[in-house]
Structures are given as structure tokens and as C-alpha cells.
Structure 1
């Protein structure tokens, strides 16, 4: 790490980290080394209030050493400020997070994609979700929406492109029980974990319409929504709780403006979401220059990073970066 820091102007930490219990000391040691070498330390927080206090405690020493704190969404910034942690002289800003998956456009159908295709037998419309299955994602909401569509006479099936989060009690059992309770047993499939981007997007291309109903509404942290929309399919979801929650993220704004993401009311119920899906069946969003959109997004990210680099020298506590 010492050699890698020698050629860097700054080190950027993305928190929280995976497998944090096995990496209790490493982040702080790296941040301390960076400060000793007079390098800037930048922390990007993707979560805060939802983190267990023990995880926050592990992050705190690194945050104390940071020159700037960036937040992946306005609500994370708000959670941080409301927690009243002393931060000293630091620049803070909200920064757009780029998609972590991008389609190549040349994906070949693998076993998961073929299984979804088989579910389409007889002309069914496939609605679905991409991403891990866990309670906070409200995956069971999609089952209720599917039931509403079936009751209206729509022949739909549901494909979940992803797997159940391990270590959470009864997640899969509760999910399966909900499927049976709604009498959707022959209409629902879960692909399981897909290890490559090609497998993911090949499977996603077999889904006609994606749908998510989040308790907090759509937020800029929902990479699964970005991936589904970038795959060329319409995503139906509910509006953010904060009307300004997506203003900093030009890619989300473009996808909404182009019709790739269709927004329902924040408190839309299963029936309203089902109506939006029914209206979207057969629609194809106009082509969008994804390369140009990604370039624009990265320019915004670089601009934010440059902004905190210069503002960090200010004596204001804290320094709020906008624009």
C-alpha cells in the first residue's frame, strides 16, 4: 500500500465495506499511512443511520482522519448531519454513484435466461426484479402486484434475477410461503446467484418490465434499478420520499425523462403499481446514448472530487459543496 500511495494524490474509501468483521484495522491503518504521507483522505458513505452501531464505531476513526466526506444520496447526508457526530474541518458533498454493471449488448442466453424464457411459454408477460432478495427491498410487494395483475386477467409470471441474502433468518422460507399464499407457485422463479455481468444482462433481457416498490421510494443508491433500466427494459417504481432525492444524479434523471424509468406516486399501492405495469406492456423506450450519459455522469463525479479537494482547505466547519 505504501508504494501505491506514493503515486496518488488521495485515497478514497467507500463505506460500508463487505466482510467488515475481518477488516477491523485495515481501513484505519491505511488512512493513517495516507495522512503520514501527506495524502488526502476522502470517505464516501453509502449508508449511515441503517448501519449497526458497531459498524459505525469501526468507521469512525477513518472518518476522523478524512479531509472530505461524500454521500451517495441526500438522505445519507441528512442522516449523517442529524447524528451530530463532531467532524471538525471537512468538506462535505453529495456525489452521484455510477452504475456498477453495464450491458455489452452482446450477451448470450445462459441457463438463467433460458429458464425465464421457458416461463414465458404461452405468451406470458414477465415482470421481475434484479438484485439480492432481502426484506428491506420489499420483494414480496412484487408478488402482491403480480397477484393483482392475474386477478385482472393479465397472464403474467415473475422472475427474480438474483439470490437470497444468506445469514438473514427465514428470508427464503418467508418468500416461498408468500408465493404459495398468493397461489403463484407456477408463476414465480428465482435464478439464484449469477457470477458475470453477461449472465445478469442476458437474464434481464428476458424480463419485459421490472418493478420495485420501495418503502422510501426510489433513491440514487438503487443500483439494481439502474442496471435494469440500462438493460433496455422499462422499470416501474415509486417516487422518492424527497422530491430532490435524484437531482444530483444526471443518469437517473435521463432514464426517467426518456421513459426507461416510470414513476408512480410515492405511496402507490399494489393496484396502482399493477395499473402502471399494464400501461407499460408492449412499450419500448426510445434509444438513449448511454455512453454519453455515462461520460456526463463521470464528469459530474470528477467535478465533485475536484470541488472537495479545493474546498477542504477552507476553515469553514463543515464546508458544503453544491452544484
Structure 2
């Protein structure tokens, strides 16, 4: 049987979010059977690109598409008219602002198949009215880490500043990924404050940047840090361009820490990346028992104690206990190459099954 060919829609963003990174990596993994296409209103260019493929792949929500509210629907409609399969990979749903969900709905209605980043997202979508008139060809796709350990590290000013703190005896707590309220990033501030109150010298590094376009998030974040008496202990790196520099920063972290409102879910690629760093990751457990059933890499990292689970409803004091325990027990490294190859084979198989719809 002839292998299917794909057009993978991407944005023009230079500072990529996790969803954008997944789209670009998926195109790479599909190899010569996939082409990237930047979303826009170039009808001639779109028709030309579609003429050479069997299916198109959308990934939602992409931060770089925020100002392009109509282009996804335009692209999906043209693909439908040209009888190309439309595969949508949906990474978030209920967590999106309702206006963003409204913009995505026409594309969901035109989809040939939908792949969800986690069973929780599939359930959220199933509970929405648009689900009743959207294709029932649906699947759960395991989300990969949004970066992997490089062969060599590239220390920079940010990692060197953290190294100086460590040399002075400071315990460095880290979190990787974008900073936004629904991720409860500020809970790490409370955990650090709890450790400080116990007499531990702690520093906190957020390896990432604030989500753009969200009112007052950065101001409120630093005001909270100030009120907790830890403002001078908080580092926010901003966007870091290369894996080599990112993992040089990771190297200075003692323990990564996450406390999600819904517990760990399979779509948290930033947790996967931290788990592959060789540093322990403390995170609250999934709320549902099957949350990671489809994701072999997550399960393996947990089995090897690279990711250490605490109670789903853990408070700051409990998390502080877990952080102290984790920092005294080095997280074992796993052989990432084999696991990642296996994971990407699973991802491609799920997406391609949608492309055959």
C-alpha cells in the first residue's frame, strides 16, 4: 500500500510553544512524506501544497496563531474542498478561553479524525456540544517531551548564575515550561517559602517565560514572590533558544517541582523533558487511574523514580517534604534514545491511522 503524504501546518513563531514544537517534530519524524506549511491567506500557495499530499495535520492551540483567527478554518475548508483528509491533534480544550474554542470549532467540524493529547482532553471535548457533530474517529496520542538531552551542554550567563548560587550552598528548585495561572506555577513559590521557613536556603528557577497576552500575570507573579519574602530568590530565564543551553540550566537544578490542579497528565511534555534531565522530578499524581496508560515513557520514568509522585491533592508542606527527600536521592538516568524512538513510532502510528480515515 502506498504510504500517505502529509502537509503539517506550522506558524511563523521563532519562540515556539510546546504545541508548535510538537507540530514541527512530527513533520520531521514523518520524513520525506511530510511538508511544513506556514498558515496564511495565500490561496495559490495552499492549493499548490495540497495538490501533492493526501492529508493535512493541524495542532491546536498554537500560540503563534493567536492573531490568525480565520486562517485555520480557511485552510481546513480548502483541504475539505480538495478532498484531503483533515487530522486535528488537540492538546487543550476546556483550559482554553471560550473565544479560542469558538475559533477552533469550525476546524473541528471539518476534521476527518481527532487525536487528543490525553484522555482528560478527550473527555472535556466529549462533554462539549460541538462533540456531537464532530467526527467520532478519535484516538489518544502520546505527547513527547518538547526537547531531549543534547550531546553537549552550552553553559551561559543564566546557568552560571545558578551555579554560583549552588556553590554558596543554595538548594535550587526548578520548573520548566511556560508560566501561566492554570498551571499553578505560583505553587512552587509557596513550596519554596515553606522550605525557607524551615531554615533551608532555597532558590527557584523558572526555565521559560510568561504566556503572552494574559493580563497582569507577570506583575501578580512577582508581587506574590515579594509578599512571600522570596523575590530575590526567584529567577525567570525567559525564552532559551537551544537544547544545549537549556540542559546546562537543568544541570544546576537540584529538584524539579510541579503541582498541577488536575495532577499529572500525559500532555505535560515539560515534565517529560525534566524527567530526562537526570534530575529528580516531584509532581502530584494523576487524578484518574488511566491517565498515563497509553504513555510508555511516562510510566517508565515513574518506575525508575526519575519522576516521583505525591498525592494528587498535596499541599505546599507535603510537596516541601517530597522535595527534600528527592534531593537526597539522585534520580537514575534512563537511556532516552531507545525510549524516544519507541514513543515516536507510537505517535506516528496513531496520527497516520487518522490520516487513513
For normalisation by structure 2, the TM-score amounts to 0.81
- 1:218-233 to structure 2, matched below 5 A, reads 218-233=264-279
CA deviation after TM superposition for structure 1 residue 212, in Å: 0.7
Once the two structures are superposed, residues 7-43 of structure 1 have per-residue CA deviations (whole angstroms, 9 ceiling, x without a partner) of: 3221111012324453233222222222233321111
Structure 1: any 5+ residue segments left out of the alignment?
Answer: 313-323
- Alignment check: 8 A CA contact 2:114 2:135 kept: no
Give the total of aligned pairs. Answer: 311
- Alignment check: 8 A CA contact 1:124 1:156 kept: yes
| SS in structure 2 of the partner of residue 139 of structure 1 | coil
CA deviation after TM superposition for structure 1 residue 96, in Å: 0.9
Take 2:134 and 2:284, find their aligned partners in 1: how far apart are those partners?
37
After TM superposition, the structure 1 stretch with the greater mean CA deviation from structure 2, 90-99 or 260-269, is 90-99
| Counterpart check, 1:213 vs 2:259 | yes
Counterpart residue number, 2:204 = 158
CA deviation after TM superposition for structure 1 residue 269, in Å: 0.8
Higher relative contact order (CA 8 A, sep 6+): 1
| SS in structure 2 of the partner of residue 128 of structure 1 | strand
Take 1:160 and 1:50, find their aligned partners in 2: how far apart are those partners?
21
| Counterpart check, 1:236 vs 2:285 | no
Counterpart residue number, 2:129 = 84
- Alignment check: 8 A CA contact 1:101 1:227 kept: yes
Counterpart residue number, 1:57 = 102
Counterpart residue number, 1:139 = 185
1:110 to 151, 156, 162: 156
Once the two structures are superposed, residues 248-286 of structure 1 have per-residue CA deviations (whole angstroms, 9 ceiling, x without a partner) of: 111111111111110000011111111111111132222
Counterpart residue number, 1:271 = 317
| Counterpart check, 1:299 vs 2:356 | no
Take 2:234 and 2:352, find their aligned partners in 1: how far apart are those partners?
47
For normalisation by structure 1, the TM-score amounts to 0.90
| SS in structure 2 of the partner of residue 22 of structure 1 | coil
Take 1:281 and 1:30, find their aligned partners in 2: how far apart are those partners?
49
Counterpart residue number, 1:38 = 83
Structure 2: any 5+ residue segments left out of the alignment?
Answer: 1-45
Take 1:290 and 1:262, find their aligned partners in 2: how far apart are those partners?
18
Structure 1 segments of 4+ aligned residues over 4 angstroms from their partners: none
Once the two structures are superposed, residues 187-221 of structure 1 have per-residue CA deviations (whole angstroms, 9 ceiling, x without a partner) of: 22222222222222211111111001111111112
After TM superposition, the structure 1 stretch with the greater mean CA deviation from structure 2, 210-219 or 123-132, is 123-132
- 1:131-210 to structure 2, matched below 5 A, reads 131-210=177-256
| SS in structure 1 of the partner of residue 206 of structure 2 | strand
**Residues 155 and 88 of structure 1, relative CA distance in 2, 3 Å threshold:** closer
Take 1:21 and 1:212, find their aligned partners in 2: how far apart are those partners?
27
Q: Say what the alpha-carbon RMSD is for the aligned residues.
A: 1.9
- Alignment check: 8 A CA contact 1:126 1:157 kept: yes
**Residues 32 and 185 of structure 1, relative CA distance in 2, 3 Å threshold:** closer
**Residues 244 and 206 of structure 1, relative CA distance in 2, 3 Å threshold:** same
| Counterpart check, 1:71 vs 2:109 | no
After TM superposition, the structure 1 stretch with the greater mean CA deviation from structure 2, 272-281 or 129-138, is 129-138
CA deviation after TM superposition for structure 1 residue 56, in Å: 2.1
Counterpart residue number, 2:71 = 26
Take 1:67 and 1:74, find their aligned partners in 2: how far apart are those partners?
19
CA deviation after TM superposition for structure 1 residue 89, in Å: 4.5
After TM superposition, the structure 1 stretch with the greater mean CA deviation from structure 2, 6-15 or 193-202, is 193-202
**Residues 302 and 191 of structure 1, relative CA distance in 2, 3 Å threshold:** closer
